[in-house]
Structure 1
């Protein structure tokens, strides 16, 4: 909770978030051109999770005094935990699955594995400092499930390695399962933090 370290985490996550949205630029453009604009919010999964965590750090640095802002902060913190764990693990799993089916290993894959593992780990490490409770966790789980539904109903899920293109139904099942497991991980972390 050292403020200097929180600021370091904030800037690292903010830069990673910006990079993540740039990473999604082709898919965002394709979605904008071919789907209703309302679906755009469901396209960039990992950078949005990183954005939630970045905003959560701001709420730690500058705790709001007004009750309404505290509630908003708690929902964002719940979203940060569920989505960071889910998409952190999901991205690593998809990269490794692509390799296991014969995909090439490139340097960017190793960078993405490290950064996405960090997303999951930092979210679970900071749960005890966040102020959210079960209601915010349920909202976060509901949002993440809605995102899954939109991704696999409209085909706007993150681009998969070429080697996984014939396994979309299996990826879909894994994705929904991972959302539930990420919600459970947040719930267990809250219990350990003795807020349930």
Structure 2
């Protein structure tokens, strides 16, 4: 039968498969920014311009993962600290952001439906794609270079994003049924940031033993 871990690696790092993932994530990222178009326009017209970067959470997470896939497809030959530092930060952000916002989006859709929001086919598509975001990030983290320091910085970015979102009310628009649950959503969001860091940390610890 062979070594299962070797077999898994040969499939996951198979270049045509990596290219497929790259294009799926790139197209999903573009779709995600289009999805946020209305909120981006609203934010630009009603809030300070610098807050725009904190609006499109999920597509920015998938953008980081798309860039991280490029490092697997084209491993940098340069050993400079700048190149290495850029890589580990993108990889750390790809993992913690994808896990967090992948789970967050699904939780918000389910919570809205629980309180009466009518689900459409787009909701099911979004749940499937966002669960895929979280799963692929943890699955591929074992092949990345990011370590503890980069993960801590990534977690810091998540907590900063949470603080900006709920201090300036630029968090992703919610179903109407959840508008009276903002304090609970905020607490869940902060907790999910910590969870995402811990999940990535556990994968990192496992990776160090392989």
What is the TM-score when the length of structure 2 is the normalising length? Answer: 0.92
**How many equivalent pairs are there?**
196
Please point out which of 115, 133, 145 is paired with 1:131: 145
1:20 correspondence with 2:32: yes
Please point out which of 181, 188, 192 is paired with 2:202: 188
CA distance in 1, matches of 2:119, 2:163: 30
Q: Rg larger in 1 or in 2?
A: 2
Please point out which of 1, 20, 27 is paired with 1:8: 20
Please point out which of 37, 42, 53 is paired with 1:30: 42
4+ residue segments displaced more than 4 Å:
none
Structure-2 residue corresponding to 1:57:
69
What is the Cα deviation at residue 65 of structure 1? 2.3
1:164 correspondence with 2:170: no
CA distance in 2, matches of 1:64, 1:160: 40
Alignment gaps of 5+ in structure 2:
1-12
What is the Cα deviation at residue 63 of structure 1? 1.2
Aligned-pair RMSD on alpha carbons? 1.1
CA distance in 2, matches of 1:109, 1:77: 28
What is the Cα deviation at residue 112 of structure 1? 0.2
What is the Cα deviation at residue 105 of structure 1? 1.3
Structure-2 residue corresponding to 1:86:
100
What is the TM-score when the length of structure 1 is the normalising length? Answer: 0.98
CA distance in 1, matches of 2:43, 2:72: 34
Alignment of 1:100-119 (within 5 A): 100-119=114-133
What is the Cα deviation at residue 70 of structure 1? 1.8
